[in-house]
């Protein structure tokens, strides 16, 4: 049976809160975007299990810290406040994406990726990136901040087309809703591996920035950050973190 995203959200939230009610002792409540999708976070209505990069990392981190982990599905524009208001303990959020990063405490980076432009026409490699994208429309997520694009958006070099979390960026590109999309290379790598698009997709280029993605915690976790960072370092040095990334990059799309 196919459920609507709203029904899935309600079920997911109810299960999350029920599990939390049964928990005793310490726990980590991780805020996740309910419509995030693979390879980062997905919830199976049939098995009532969470999966994805965020889920696997959180489970390993909780195991290392000897605590339980639960997930709080929420909207992208609510994650920051959910953590500040102690509805959740943490979320995978970079400081530059937030309105009040000073109200949170951040772990060391857990993983890194880049953001890149993608198009259905091959880029002219003899041109600079700004020349390749100038005058074109770009699909961007609603409620997301893209500080590295601010100058180009403000001077009109790029025309933004804001789309909801439920819209698949690569589908928007195939449907010519925009000339370009801008997304992280993890999602692009997974999507292009899982879908045979009618129109070929090309990476146009990156801004050259490396996005370091930490866990953003409520200030109540400040005294626990040394243990959190030590656990993250151990996961990285043992190779577990890289294996989690590669595993989720290789997973097939289960949403079809």
Query: Which structure tokens are listed for 60?
Result: 């390993």
Crossing angle for the helix pair 53-65 and 240-250, to the nearest 10 degrees: 150
Query: Domain 5-111+212-250 belongs to what topology?
Result: D-Maltodextrin-Binding Protein; domain 2 (3.40.190)
Rounded Cα–Cα distance for residues 131 and 124 (Å): 9
- Provide the residue ranges of all domains of the chain, joining segments of one domain with +: 5-111+212-250, 115-206
Would the CA dihedral through 238, 226, 57, 50 be positive or negative? positive
How does pLDDT run across 86-116, given as a tens digit for each residue? 999 999 999 999 999 999 999 999 999 999 9
Quick one: pLDDT band at residue 46, thresholds 50, 70, 90? Answer: confident
**Contact between 60 and 74 (Cβ < 8 Å):** no
Would you say residue 19 has pLDDT above 60?
A: no
Residues 175-216 have pLDDT tens digits of 999 999 999 999 999 999 999 999 999 999 999 999 999 999
With CA atoms as reference, report the closest residue to 52 among 12, 87, 105, 96.
Answer: 12
Query: pLDDT band at residue 255, thresholds of 50, 70 and 90?
Result: low
Structure tokens at 178: 């925009």
Q: What digits encode the pLDDT tens for the residues 140-180?
A: 999 888 999 999 999 999 999 999 988 999 999 999 999 99
Number of CB atoms found within 10 A of residue 250's CB: 11
Residue carrying the six token digits 């726990």: 27
Looking at domain 115-206, which of 3.40.50.10880, 3.40.50.261, 3.40.190.10, 3.40.50.300 is its CATH number? 3.40.190.10
- Of 60, 40, 39, 41, nearest to 49 by C-alpha is 41
Indicate if 115-206 has the same CATH topology as 5-111+212-250.
yes
Average pLDDT taken over every residue of the chain = 89
Tokens of 91: 């979320």
pTM of the model: 0.84
């Amino acid at each position: 049976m196919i459920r609507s995203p709203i029904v899935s959200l309600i079920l997911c939230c109810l299960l999350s809160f029920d599990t939390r009610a049964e928990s005793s002792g310490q726990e980590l409540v991780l805020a996740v975007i309910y419509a995030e999708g693979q390879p980062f976070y997905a919830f199976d209505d049939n098995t009532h299990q969470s999966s994805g990069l965020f889920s696997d990392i959180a489970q390993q981190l909780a195991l290392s810290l000897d605590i339980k982990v639960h997930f709080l599905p929420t909207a992208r524009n609510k994650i920051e406040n959910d953590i500040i208001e102690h509805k959740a303990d943490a979320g995978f959020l970079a400081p530059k994406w937030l309105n009040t990063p000073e109200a949170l405490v951040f772990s060391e980076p857990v993983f890194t990726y880049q953001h890149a432009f993608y198009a259905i026409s091959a880029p002219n490699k003899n041109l600079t990136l700004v020349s390749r994208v100038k005058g074109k429309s770009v699909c961007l997520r609603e409620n997301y901040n893209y500080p590295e694009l601010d100058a180009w958006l403000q001077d009109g070099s790029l025309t933004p087309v804001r789309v909801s979390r439920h819209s698949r960026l690569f589908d928007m590109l195939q449907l010519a809703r925009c000339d370009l999309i801008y997304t992280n290379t993890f999602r692009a790598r997974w999507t292009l591996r899982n879908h045979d698009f009618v129109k070929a997709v090309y990476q146009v280029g990156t801004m050259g920035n490396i996005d370091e993605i930490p866990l953003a915690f409520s200030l109540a976790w400040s005294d626990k950050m040394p243990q959190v960072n030590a656990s993250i370092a151990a996961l990285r040095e043992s190779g577990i973190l890289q294996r989690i990334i590669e595993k989720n990059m290789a997973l097939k799309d289960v949403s079809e």
